[in-house]
Structure 1
């Protein structure tokens, strides 16, 4: 797999994970017959801010390199694992929904007088959140593993110093022209990207 493809796949995974978390944050999580349903903003309000942070990490992934990129990957693993735990807490917790759930269940009188109250039920929304968290965590592992094998913004695949030498020759070429000199009189081939040759052979 090429470095550019690694970067593209990792960025796509982060984008999909962020989209999934955002969608999860808009869905209903708990329904109770006769009472208002609870959406993610009532149950897990952390999901939307995490989705925005994951989306911002795509730009950071492209801009960073080396150990800062590995730190970013580790943070993504932690964030993804935390999201999975938040969602699993509601999926596999006790009947009161969640080992550490702080959002109260819907209470109060029925929405309509005389309407029967039913038991609370969890929708499939936490499954989407858990899957999105796993995707974010997997992308974080890929960032840590491939940190030095993915391109960075502005980087070139060349030997160390090659890009700088080409840039210097190019700048010297145009500087000579601005000064009214003919750079071809030095024996240059006419290509600013080529090193000057000895005119006397």
Structure 2
């Protein structure tokens, strides 16, 4: 394997893991509290109104789903389509980062507000966005070097030396040749 195949597949694994971690971080941040405010509830008095990441920034869950779809896109494509998907993922990561920092407050929370959870939710979304940017850029940069799904059947390469006659028949079928024509 002197053609760098282990390194090539390792970079595809890295992109896939980064996208899966990004999806998990974005989904997890959507479940945490992102904002808290005191509001007048009439007879009940002043109540603490808490909003989760999915309620506060509705783009967080679709961005997590895009990161999951990005795993399939990076595995199934190659060449310029992979570059396009990498660029889309990098831009979506920027959008996730913007969503995480847009409207962040460091003070002025009402009594009883889960301040640590608010900051953790936004920080998790920011981390998910950074991971998505890294995966998109890595996919964009390594688009031509990473292996792709079905690459074995896309173009005939140099003839492989086959030792087993049965394997040789199957290989010739895979190459689109009729193994019975020469026999």
Name the structure 1 match of 2:129: 133
In the TM superposition, residue 29 of structure 1 has moved relative to its aligned partner by 1.0
More helix by share: 2
Following superposition, the deviation at residue 171 of structure 1 comes to: 4.5
Structure with the larger strand share: 2
Distance in 1, Cα, partners of 2:105 & 2:172: 59
Using the alignment, how far apart are the partners of 1:93 and 1:139 within structure 2?
Answer: 30
SS in 2 for 1:29: strand
Structure 1 residue 72: deviation in Å?
0.5
Higher alpha-carbon Rg: 1
TM normalised by structure 1 equals 0.67
Q: Does 1:43 align with 2:39?
A: no
Listed as ranges, the gaps of 5+ residues in structure 1 are 97-116, 177-181, 184-201
CA distance in 1, matches of 2:48, 2:21: 33
Give the aligned CA root-mean-square deviation in angstroms. Answer: 3.1
Alpha-carbon offset, residue 123 of structure 1: 3.5
- Distance in 1 of aligned mates of 2:77 and 2:105: 38
- Counterparts of 2:145 and 2:56, CA distance in 1: 40
Instruction: Measure the CA separation in 2 of the matches of 1:74 and 1:151.
Output: 18
Equivalence for 1:148: 144
What is the CA distance between 1:119 and its match in structure 2? 8.7
Secondary structure of the residue that 1:7 maps to in structure 2?
helix
Residue 25 (structure 1) aligns with: 30
1:6, CA displacement in angstroms?
0.6
Deviates more, 1:117-126 or 1:53-62: 117-126
Q: In the aligned structure 2, how far is the partner of 1:35 from the partner of 1:92?
A: 16
State whether residues 30 and 123 of structure 1, in contact with CA within 8 Å, keep that contact through their aligned partners in structure 2. no
Mapped to 1, the partners of 2:80 and 2:68 lie a distance apart of 20
The answer to whether structure 1 residue 5 and structure 2 residue 1 are counterparts is no
State which drifts further: 1-10 or 118-127.
Answer: 118-127
Partner in structure 2 of residue 104 of structure 1: none
| Alpha-carbon shift at residue 20 of structure 1 (Å) | 0.8
Give the CA deviation at 1:38.
1.0
- For residues 49-60 of structure 1, what are the structure 2 equivalents within 5 Å? 49-60=62-73
